[in-house]
Amino acid sequence: MLNLTPMVRNLLFLNLGMMLLTSAFMPNLMGWLALYPVQSELFQPFQFITYMFLHGGLMHIFGNMFGLISFGPMLEQRWGAQRFLMFWMICGVGAGLLYTGIRYYEVNQMNNDRQAFRKAPSPVRLVDYYEDHASMYRGYEELARAMKSDPTNAGYIDAAVKSVDGAYQDALRVPMVGASGAIFGILLAFAYLFPNTELMLLFFPFPIKAKYFVTLYGIYELYAGVQRNPGDNVAHFAHLGGMLFGFLLLKYWEKNQSRFY
């Protein structure tokens, strides 16, 4: 039987309850509570909190809740329920803030390139636009070849402009959901407070100390966030945001030792 502490249990049930509610009874809630880019008309400030209680599927919530029940209880036992909840929320909101800031820059760049394309459509600019901002899409290559063979064709130009506009609008409608940012803050705190605890993981054939595991995981997330392979829909910078805000909060608590526990 899992030895769940009170706040870990509450967060587990809340996340599972929201998963059931949004998947079986009120699916429209997902579109309202998820975290959208700031430029989107769907964005609302409260989404910085609500997004972390939503998940995109069974494997998504399983991974996050497994992390919660594996590493959360020791932290709650050390801090108490209220401080654990505060840490969880700050890491989750911080993850959303970092992700949103980077996404704000990306969407602005996408819009700038869209406007430049509309002013001077060309097959080269069409290919560059998709390779830089929407490489997961297909079909633009054929349209670019058609434009190259007949550069003055109004039908090809109109189709290209609509395609570029559509990709930009799609980007505004893609939200972020999940407790991963908060979970990565929990991982960081666990490695910080219990660095030499040995973990036995499915994808490691031997025990690894928490401090090495979290360091390697953080390096991978940074690489994956910068590299950004086509089709990768994981919010790597949200994970890093959770770790960053978790680290800053731990250092702040250390500085104020009288309020650390």
**CB environment 200-217: b (16+ within 10 A), e (fewer):** eeeeeeeebebeebbeeb
* pLDDT bracket for residue 138 (50, 70, 90): confident
SS3 250: helix
Average predicted confidence (pLDDT) for the chain: 91
Percent of the chain that is helix, strand, coil (3-state, to 5): 70, 0, 25
What digits encode the pLDDT tens for the residues 102-124? Answer: 999 999 999 999 999 999 999 99
What pLDDT, on the 0 to 100 scale, is given for residue 117? 95
Say if residue 24's pLDDT is above 90: no
The DSSP string of 47-97 is: HHHHGGG--SSHHHHHHHHHHHHHHHHHHHHHH-HHHHHHHHHHHHHHHHH
pLDDT at 260 over 60: no
Asked if pLDDT for residue 205 goes beyond 80, the answer is: no
pLDDT attached to residue 198: 87
Q: Which of 42-46, 126-130, 225-229 has the lowest mean pLDDT?
A: 225-229
pTM: 0.90
- Judged against a pLDDT cut of 80, whether residue 125 lies above it is answered with yes
Q: What is the pLDDT of residue 1?
A: 41
pLDDT at 189 over 80: yes
**32 vs 199: which has the higher pLDDT:** 32
Check whether 238 has a pLDDT greater than 60: yes
Domains of the chain: 6-93+175-259 (1.20.1540.10), 104-172 (no CATH)
